Amino acid sequence: MAEACDIEVVVFDILGTMVDEPGGLRAALRDALPASDAPSATVSVEQLLTVWQEHVEHEQQRIGEATRAYADAAVIDREAAERVADCAGLTDPVAIERLATAGQRLEPWADSLAGLTSLAQRFPVLGLSNASRATLLRLNAHAGLRWHQALSAEDARAYKPAPDVYRLAVDAAGCPPERVLMVAAHAWDLRGAQAVGMRTAYVRRPAGDPPESTDTFDWRSDSLDELVAALTAP
C-alpha cells in the first residue's frame, strides 16, 4: 500500500464516484415518461435505464476498438436518449432534449462535497471524466463540485480505460504517475489507471464496480469520508 506522503495529486472519477449517475438518469426518465403518448407502464424505468447504459457502453467500446469514429459523450448520450424515446413512445422533442442532457444535472453523493473540500486543502485535486467538456462544465456547476482542474476524456478523443485519458491527468499533475492517486468507484477504471503507473483508491458506491479478489489497489474504502481520513491523517 502507498503512503499518503507519497501522493502529490489526487484525481477523481466523477460519474458514479462523485455523483449518482444512475439515480440521476432514473429521475430524468421518470420525468420524461408522462410526456409519452404510450402508457408509461409499458416499459419500466429500469428497462429504459438498461437501454441507455448498454448503448453508451457499446458505443464507447466501439470507439475504443476503432470500429466507430470518435464521438464525444454528449453525442452518445443524445443517441441513448433517442433510443429510449423510441422504446417508450416518447415523441415530445422538448422532453427528448431534456433527457439527452440529463448528465448535466446529476446530484452529488452525500459525502462528495465535504470530502472534496477536505482533500483540496491538502492536495491539488483533479476531476477526470468520460463526460464531454460542455457536459462536465454544467455538471460541476450543478453539483457544486469545485476542482483545481477538471479534465474531459474528450481532450484525448478516447474513453477510459484508454491509457491516453489517464495520461491527461498525469500530464496535468506534472509529476511521476506513481505520485498521482486515482480515486474511483469502478474497479475497471482503477485498473486502467494502474496500467499507466498511477496509484489507486477504490471508494464503494451503490452503483460502482467492486474490486475482484485479484485487484491490488492501494486503498479500499467504504466511503469517501473514510478515504479522506486515511489520506489526511497526521
What structural domains does the chain harbor? 4-20+106-232 (3.40.50.1000), 21-104 (1.10.150)
pLDDT over 60 (residue 132): yes
Instruction: Supply the pLDDT for residue 1.
Output: 57
Residues near 158 by Cβ (< 8 Å), separated by ≥ 6? 63, 64, 70, 164, 165
**pLDDT of 102-125, one tens digit each?**
999 999 999 999 999 999 999 999
At 41, the pLDDT band (50, 70, 90 cuts) reads: very low
Residue ranges of E strands in 94-197:
125-129, 149-152, 180-184
Confidence (pTM): 0.93
What is the rounded CA–CA span in Å between residue 134 and residue 9?
24
